[in-house]
Amino acid sequence: MSKDRPTEARPGPRPAPERGPGAAGERPSRPAEGRDEALSTFVERFAADLVDAGMQRMGSRVFACLLTAPEGALSSAELSERLQVSPAAVSGAVRYLSQVHLVTRERQPGSRRERYRLHHDTWYQAMVNRDALINRWLGSLRTGIDAVGPATPAGQRLAETVDFLTFFQAELHASLERWHDLRRRNPPVAEPAAGGTDETAPERGA
């Protein structure tokens, strides 16, 4: 009579190893991609707002893109990559933005490549240069009044335009001065680096 052979225990299915957020095969969360998508959405939305206000389309996109850059400056290659456009399109947009005094060109240290940078206090500078444009308009309009005659309907229409622009210019000067004074009393505080705190940042005055 044969002895009964001991039954060998069959190994069961191995438990699946725990997989952390960085385990192979698992798609990790990508907050950077979400942030980039949000930035891209903002750039296109704000650019569309600027276009509605009469600004050149590509110039609007480049300007909005520079606004979101950490240093307010990007190279042509960086702008092309972010906006998915050709370097030629970037060049034309920068030329336009330079003409309206919104950006300036600078050389990267140790390189022949250029970067395009927003002016410091961009909107203030843009309005200061708008003042010079108003002066040119006023000079042309006064010439027009002399040409058509101040007593004619056209002359009166031009004179009303001069009155409005003169009033607007005075208000612009006052507003710019108030803004300049506000910035002196309340300088902008740099944002602390991500993940850190800035305990030494000065409190902003009233």
> Which pLDDT band holds residue 125 (cuts at 50, 70, 90)?
confident
CA gap 59, 47 in Å, rounded: 8
Average pLDDT for residues 103-127, to the nearest whole number? 83
Q: Does the pLDDT of residue 191 top 70, yes or no?
A: no
pTM: 0.65
Residue 190: is its pLDDT beyond 80?
no
Q: pLDDT band for position 6 (50/70/90)? A: low
Structure tokens at 200: 């030494």
Q: Specify the pLDDT at position 101.
A: 84
- Across the chain, mean pLDDT equals 80
Q: Is the pLDDT of residue 156 over 60?
A: yes
- What pLDDT does residue 144 have? 97
> Could you tell me which of 74, 76, 98, 103 has the C-alpha nearest to residue 87?
76
Q: How distant is the alpha carbon of residue 52 from its chain centre?
A: 17
Structure tokens at 197: 């705190």
Token pair of 151, please?
Answer: 């007593």
CATH ID of 35-118, from 1.10.1240.10, 3.40.50.1820, 1.10.10.10, 3.10.580.10:
1.10.10.10
**3-class DSSP state for residue 106?**
strand
What pLDDT is attached to residue 60? 95
Better-predicted residue by pLDDT, 101 or 154: 154
Report the pLDDT averaged over residues 8-23: 50
Whether pLDDT at 192 is above 60:
no
CA angle 203, 205, 206 (to 5 degrees): 140
- Position 33 scores a pLDDT of 61
Average of per-residue pLDDT across 110-130: 82
- Return the percentage of the chain with pLDDT > 70, whole number: 75
